[in-house]
Chain A
Amino acid sequence: MTSTLLRFKNIVGGYGNTMVVSDISGTIGKGEVLGIFGRNGVGKSTLSKLLAGALPMSVGSLLLNNKDISFTSNHERRQRGIGYMPQTAMVFDNLTVRENLSLARSTQDMKYYLSAFPRLAERQTQIAGSMSGGERKILAFVRTMLEETCLVILDEPSEGVQPENILKMQECIERRKAKGTSFVLVEQNMSMLTSISDFYIGIDSGRIVFESDKKSASRQDILSVLSV
């Protein structure tokens, strides 16, 4: 049994007075991938924001390596080892590709990622905002993956990305996973979700409606949650 990395309990949160996520709990072990899915607007992105600290939790607790990080800000969580790729506005549009990547605290694996996504190597001096939607997703993905964090939260990394590059993203995730990194993956793309997640949480109206590990969940089960 792997040791627990992140434990979140009874998380509640949202915007203003509207609570989008209510009472969600779970644990992630070292080197595990948690796949989160659900229809549009059910609170997936909000949950990932709450975990990353981009949005403060109203209720709930968060333990990373058994240390309480419930009340820490986004940048503190990053320094403690949580990397986060948001769904929208995921790159700095006014900075060049190189500048975007230089913001990662570690650049050890730069060569590996640039050879996986040669397009980024070709466009080092281009302003990120002038790249296509899919390219920006890739840039954000690489920036997040470069960081040597123990947990990576990815919010819809495959949106607008061509299938080949999605496969490469999966490879990159598997590679880090083998080194013991854990992932939270929010995805609409079923093939990506099912091929790399170790266990799933299905969300509807801000609550967990489905929970299963990889072996016992069929694609049909997942689709049935999505079509509620």
Chain B
Amino acid sequence: MAYIAVTSAALLTVLLLVPQLFGTFTAYQIGLFLIYGIVAQGIGFLWGKTGILPLGQAIFFGIAAYACAQILKNIDSLPLQIALFVVVVACLALLGFALAFIVFKGRSDSGPYFSLITLALAMICEQVAGTATNTTGGFNGIYGYPTIANLDQFNELYYVIAIVTVLSTAAISVLNTLPAGLVARAVSDNEKRMQLFGFPTHLVKGLVFGLSAAFAAVAGILFANHQGIVTPTSTGFLLSANLVIWTAVGGRNHVYGPLIGAVGIGYLSSELRGSFVYWEVIVALVFIIVVLKYPGGIAGYLVDIFCRFKKNIRSTELHLCNAPAISTSIVQPKLIFSKTKVKMGPVRILNGVDLVTPKTGIVCIIGPNGAGKTSLLNAITGNLIVSAGSVSLDNKYIHNLPTHKAFACGIARKLQVPSVFFSLTVFENIALAVIAGRARFLDFFRPSTLKWRTAELTNLLNSEAMTALVDMEKPVSALAQGHRQFLEFAMTTAVQPKVLLLDEPCAGLSPDETRMMTNLVRDFQERNNGLIILIEHDMSIVRDLADRVVVLHQGAVLFEGSYDDVRNNKSVQDVYSGGTK
């Protein structure tokens, strides 16, 4: 926090010095690109953190600018003007939120499609602005209105712009350090995992897009004041594309990147375009080289250099605090499958599963490849559509719920191929698991939330099996596959689920590691006393763990009983004879 205060103060000083050092006209020109920089910061946060690339950010910028021009033209009272500006920003933020929320609902990707929708919308806005002559003045635009409080565009207005720039920079810097920022990054890293942790990811994307729209709207209002004219180009595709270019060249991952990009490239272009013929060619070349060689942009490059000189700036000392208890409504974690069917194209994957699990205990599911074991778990967590029949937990139907709602029912799942957040550190991975289901809305905006730990989790992390995870600052992408299995197990059990679904937790583990994993599962069951459903091929693991064994074959339950029953059953032997490692 202190770091943010210092850098914000430094930025403010630099911006305030500009008119003194270079004169008010230069300050006026730079002011325009600071305004674009604010929009670009919103784009940078959206794109850098959640991976969504907006190609039509000028929609919000332009609409706000037009609205501002009309307000200034028709309304004289300053308080009313400001109130209406707030309304405009709020409405556009809401519009952005609704757009992303609706489009991303029921999907789990960062969607080039969404980018193209915003692109098409920007083109529509530009066309409409050019045609609807009565409200927008057509191609000539709206002009001849006063600035807010009659500020001098060439003098006082610059300071307003400077202050808003500093505020927007500080806001994003703070957001980056908060759990909310981590959640946004996690969504772009592994959306499926976030849904399994109960986060409605389309809501997260909607909120972040709404935030970026608000930034664009604020900038649009400043723009209308600054330029004294609003034309269709201010809501069009070309401006949107330029904003993205500035963000990319400046660096989308860092809060100062978009500012550097907008002011650096934008201002220099407008200065040099007239006097130097090849300038545009140079800009295009620089842009291509940045995208090719320095995907982090100028800011990313500077940060890399900075880190090379100053390693390990983060203090390793952590003051962890106790996480609040997790609450679930279910009392009887008894899963009931009733004639459950799942189809994929013409193939019937589950063909009428009838199964009632006990309330507690470890149920092992075995069966040949393609018998529908993983699909059974997918039907529980809403990753596959149940076409007929039902799945219920604690007497409530849970099939065909969105994935994130399964979590609220007390269900956690470890996937077959370890599903963790690869671009984040071990610490951040664990933090997300502890936040899941525990944090209330305000907790996402408190830095201390990141330090939550439970006693069980601390014990688990100190155990022999987790030695590979000791270096908490290590990125998960540097862990071996087997160690990711242990990390994902720790994360999945951190949420203390009543129903734990484990899909081949020992796949790819050595005999020693397999022993450690089975011990972890058994220990967890003794403490938690819930229901565990475990898919496994290795019969020695099944013998060690299972209270009950279910044999699936061709999408239906072939047999269920104790380990010995299964071993001695003739029909099971016919289709399946388990082996050991």
In the complex, are the beta carbons of B369 and A190 less than 8 A apart?
Answer: no
Specify which of A40, A127, A189 is in contact with B480 (CB 8 Å cutoff). A40
CB 8 Å contact bits of A215-228 with B (1 = contact, 0 = none): 00000000100110
Number of interface residues of B (CB under 8 A): 37
Q: Which residue of chain B has the shortest Cβ distance to A131 in the bound complex?
A: B370
Answer whether residue B507 sits at the interface, using C-beta atoms and an 8 A cutoff.
yes
A132 — which chain B residues lie within 8 A by C-beta? Answer: 369-375
B126 at the A/B interface (Cβ < 8 Å)? no
Which of B347, B482, B578 lies in contact with A41, CB distance below 8 A?
B482
CB contacts (< 8 Å) of B581 on chain A: these are 188-191
B504 touches A160 (CB 8 A): yes
**Contacts of A131 on B, CB cut-off 8 Å?**
370
Q: How far is the CA of A127 from the CA of B510 in the complex (A)?
A: 31
Asked whether any CB of chain A lies closer than 8 Å to the CB of B470, the reply is: no
Q: Which of A90-140 contact B (CB under 8 A)?
A: 119, 123, 125-127, 130-135, 137-138
User: Which of A21-29, A47-55, A144-152, A163-171 forms contacts with chain B?
Assistant: A163-171
Please tell me if the beta carbons of B537 and A156 are within 8 angstroms of each other in the complex. no
Q: Which residues of B contact A164 (CB under 8 A)?
A: 368, 576-577
User: Is the beta-carbon distance between B369 and A88 smaller than 8 angstroms?
Assistant: no
Please classify the interface of chain A as helix (H, G, I), strand (E, B), loop, or mixed, using the class held by over half of its residues.
Answer: loop
Nearest Cβ in chain A — how far from B50, in angstroms? Answer: 24
Q: Does A176 contact B (CB under 8 A)?
A: no
Q: Does A162 make an interface contact (CB < 8 A)?
A: yes
Quick one: closest B residue to A117, CB to CB? B369
B511 touches A226 (CB 8 A): yes
Inside 8 A of A135's CB, which chain B residues have their CB? 369-370
Q: Are A162 and B510 in contact (CB under 8 A)?
A: no
Residue on B with the closest CB to A120?
Answer: B370
User: A40-B513, A133-B417, A134-B370 are contacts. A166–B508 as well, Cβ < 8 Å?
Assistant: no
CB contact under 8 A between A138 and B369, given known A41-B480, A160-B507: yes
Q: What are the residues of chain A within 8 A of B416 when measuring CB–CB? A: 133, 160
Shortest CB–CB separation between residue B519 and chain A, in angstroms? 15
Tell me, in angstroms, the Cα distance from A188 to B508 when the chains sit together. 7
Tell me the complex Cα distance, A40–B537, Å.
Answer: 19
| Most A C-beta atoms less than 10 A away, residue of B346, B416, B468 | B416
- The reply to whether B344 and A130 form a contact with Cβ atoms under 8 Å apart is yes
Q: Is there contact, CB below 8 Å, between B507 and A40?
A: no
Cα A227 to Cα B513 in complex, Å, equals 9
Chain B residues with CB below 8 A from A119, complex form: 369-370
Chain A nearest CB, measured from B71 CB (Å): 51
From B367, B416, B468, B508, residue with most partner A Cβ within 10 Å: B508
Complex alpha-carbon distance, A163 and B580, angstroms: 8
Q: Which of B473-520 contact A (CB under 8 A)?
A: 479-483, 504, 507-513
**A88, A130, A163, A189 interface centre (most CB from chain B within 10 Å):** A163
Tell whether B579 is near chain A: CB-to-CB under 8 Å.
Answer: yes
Interchain Cβ contacts within 8 Å, total number: 101
Structural contact, B483 and A40, CB atoms closer than 8 A: yes
A159 to B483, Cβ gap below 8 A? no
CB distance from B566 to the nearest CB of A (A): 14
Cβ-neighbour of A190 out of B345, B507, B511 (below 8 A): B511
A40 touches B481 (CB 8 A): yes
Most buried by B among A40, A41, A156: A40
Nearest-CB distance from A215 to chain B (Å)? 22
Separation in Å of the B578 CB from the closest CB of chain A?
Answer: 6
Is residue A172 within 8 Å, beta carbon to beta carbon, of the partner chain?
no
Residues on B with beta carbons closer than 8 Å to the beta carbon of A190: 511, 581
Q: Is the CB of B537 within 8 A of A226?
A: no
| A40 pairs with B482, CB closer than 8 A | yes
Residues of the B chain whose Cβ atoms lie less than 8 Å from the Cβ of A130: 344-345, 347
For window 152-190 of A, CB contacts with B under 8 Å fall at 156, 159-166, 188-190
A223 pairs with B511, CB closer than 8 A: yes
Report chain B residues within 8 Å CB of A160.
369, 416, 504, 507, 537
> Taking the complex as formed, is A39 at the interface, i.e. its CB lies under 8 A from any CB of chain B?
yes
Q: Please report the C-alpha to C-alpha distance between residue A105 and residue B558 in the assembled complex, in whole angstroms.
A: 39
B368, A165: Cβ atoms under 8 Å?
A: yes
A-B contact pairs, 17 of them (CB 8 A): A39-B482, A40-B510, A123-B370, A130-B347, A133-B369, A133-B417, A133-B507, A134-B369, A135-B369, A135-B370, A156-B508, A162-B369, A163-B579, A165-B368, A189-B581, A190-B511, A223-B511
Ordered nearest first, which 5 A-B pairs have the shortest CB separation? A41-B480, A40-B482, A134-B369, A163-B579, A135-B370
